[in-house]
Structure 1
């Protein structure tokens, strides 16, 4: 489909499921350029006004949880990102390896007593939610509820259901942060509640929105990266055999999985601050822009034979985590969790096969995330 869209032009008008009219970009070069183009804004307040004007309705107030750094422009984005960057450097994340390995091994132990299991239920979903909740300091008893809210917010559910999930999550995070402000604990959320950069500190509203972003983005991306990765390898037994014979290929295999079948369908919404030319197409001022990360990563002009999974491919430059100032802050953590989860799954079970027809697998209904609902496997 992406190849067909690219053949029709560099950008084409589309209507999104909730009626938003936008311009869809699927080519790699254009996508990469636009992801870093300062003429495209991510200001959530202005975006809500533009959408309301497009729909001919009165603009509603921007939801509190949406006022995070992913939905902001410099200088606000620069300030917010600076306050959280230190927590997600590759060096900082690497210190989490022993704990991630322990959680993974515990999850695999629960799978080992049977001859089949759902990888999404038993590994891909619980690992990232456990890691990010431990990192941020979310009590174990609350994690199931949080995961349910997150799934609803990122789904294609009815607007009322999404609003209710957002309301519940906002209330929960507000209470949790107030508790951490009163009594500091050893976790990232407590650190953020007290962090100061040259005297600057997150406001209560900014802190709630930041917690929401880190919790949702910190586990949703990784859930789907693990699930998509296991499925890709099972559907390409030659690549699976190659990885089993040379586990040193695992980091590159994760990068190829990110390129081949990444966890995010579309980059989050942008709009043009002025007319922007994409090839011979002009996107007007105020026009919304939707960038297909999956489409860009399957562009044959950038990646030869893009429909083939090749874990030895030089995959540098893929856009699975975005590009530019909004590049995913949690990318190092997602990579580490995927390497550990996939590597240890393959090491534990030497005869792993997919149950049923791949074409019958159910994918989540979402324009944003690209992931499976279930992934049944059989093993020894």
Structure 2
């Protein structure tokens, strides 16, 4: 970090006491603290539990600017890392496993090239073709617990659904997908980058195993790849074919791309389904309204409802790391070259300057340009698939288990501590058994 004079911290600002950030109590409900920051310190420099110092951006207008600002790079090489911060600004294990060259860590022109290759798997047509498989997976998972009358919707439903879906999309053989589920489960339980005391070793080991498997799978697919692409060809085969036809995709790039699509594609959807179901159970009026709409065969409220759930309590609390490539001013604060900048999507999406009654859940909200999937060139590539999975999961749950209710006091539920993602550890529910 530079030796420039430090701006006032939130604790230096006169007025109400500054909130405590990054505690377990904060993880349960961060929104009051974010409201305080929006009002008193909208671009706020803080020391994270990992020891890294970074700027938190909490207002919608500033957040949208930062997400699209080319002076804020995604490449960690632009971070002036002090010794105590080495390796603490990314996904645990990705550096050692040579998985850094993916869309979350690079800028144009490499970002443009890789995104063009991968975007072919997420066109509206391709996602629509995948819809029957998502519905099949959804029904199969519900079948496993429907007759029991109870379930943990995180571990039995929200977690396996996107894992199996993204494995299918990548082209991971069905007999290997349970291994991916185990590795992803380790990452989901222990990814707490930026959280004090977060165990990173288990994550790193899982990343290393996944890297080894992906390298072997890429080699096997390259050896057996037919000369002509088949309809609906899997994503890994498509990446290999591109690298063999002049797109200059290295094996490390292919493995890193497959890894980040799995890593980013599953946890966001786990949290979308988990947080969304929880919000509906806590707002019975909105939930009944959606069920009535589904019973009439209508989808408009489901579609606007998913967007509102993304805004209200979305799966990504803070956008992934950005680093200033040169000095800039954001929200009235001078940011030095090399400084990390973290855009707090959860705070921006409840900014009263942008959203009317932002703390209310309104599934019919129309003016809803939320930042839940980012903005600019790094807008989430897998957003169409995540929306499909979220809509399918919620619609099927509410239709097949109409009396679904929480089986535990909300005060007893625990949220996974961490910096980037926001999601429940468990979501125990009860319902009338369905045969």
User: What is the TM-score with the length of structure 1 in the denominator?
Assistant: 0.94
Contact 1:42 1:71 in 2 (8 A): yes
Partners of 2:214 and 2:125 lie apart in 1 by 28
2:358 matches 1:306 = yes
Partners of 1:294 and 1:110 lie apart in 2 by 33
Q: How far has the Cα of 1:279 moved from its partner?
A: 2.4
**Alignment match, 1:286:** 338
SS in 2 for 1:377: strand
Q: How far has the Cα of 1:56 moved from its partner?
A: 8.5
Partners of 1:315 and 1:147 lie apart in 2 by 37
* Cα distance per residue 1:43-98 (max 9 Å; x no partner): 13333xx22467599xx994411221211011110111111111101221011111
Q: How far has the Cα of 1:100 moved from its partner?
A: 0.9
Q: How does 1:26-175 map to 2 (within 5 A)?
A: 26-47=58-79, 50-52=80-82, 55=85, 62-63=95-96, 64-153=98-187, 155-156=191-192, 157-175=198-216
Query: Cα gap change, 1:54/1:109 in structure 2, threshold over 3 Å: closer, same or farther?
Result: closer
Partners of 2:174 and 2:245 lie apart in 1 by 34
Q: How far has the Cα of 1:145 moved from its partner?
A: 3.1
Contact 2:78 2:325 in 1 (8 A): no
Q: How far has the Cα of 1:197 moved from its partner?
A: 9.6
Partners of 1:181 and 1:236 lie apart in 2 by 50
**Alignment match, 1:176:** 217
SS in 1 for 2:418: coil
Partners of 2:65 and 2:205 lie apart in 1 by 36
Contact 2:94 2:100 in 1 (8 A): no
Query: Cα gap change, 1:97/1:150 in structure 2, threshold over 3 Å: closer, same or farther?
Result: same
Contact 2:50 2:85 in 1 (8 A): no
SS in 2 for 1:195: helix
Partners of 1:192 and 1:274 lie apart in 2 by 34
Query: Cα gap change, 1:56/1:73 in structure 2, threshold over 3 Å: closer, same or farther?
Result: closer
Partners of 2:399 and 2:256 lie apart in 1 by 39
**Worse-superposed segment, 307-316 or 261-270:** 307-316
Question: Among 26, 34, 52, which residue is 1:2 paired with?
Answer: 34
Query: Cα gap change, 1:225/1:55 in structure 2, threshold over 3 Å: closer, same or farther?
Result: closer
Query: Any unmatched runs of 5+ in structure 1?
Result: none
Q: How far has the Cα of 1:227 moved from its partner?
A: 0.6
Structure with more helix by fraction: 1
Q: How does 1:321-360 map to 2 (within 5 A)?
A: 321-360=373-412
SS in 2 for 1:66: coil
Partners of 2:71 and 2:84 lie apart in 1 by 20
Contact 2:38 2:59 in 1 (8 A): yes
Q: How far has the Cα of 1:216 moved from its partner?
A: 1.1
The total of aligned residue pairs comes to: 377
Query: Any unmatched runs of 5+ in structure 2?
Result: 1-32, 88-92, 193-197, 227-232
User: What is the TM-score with the length of structure 2 in the denominator?
Assistant: 0.82
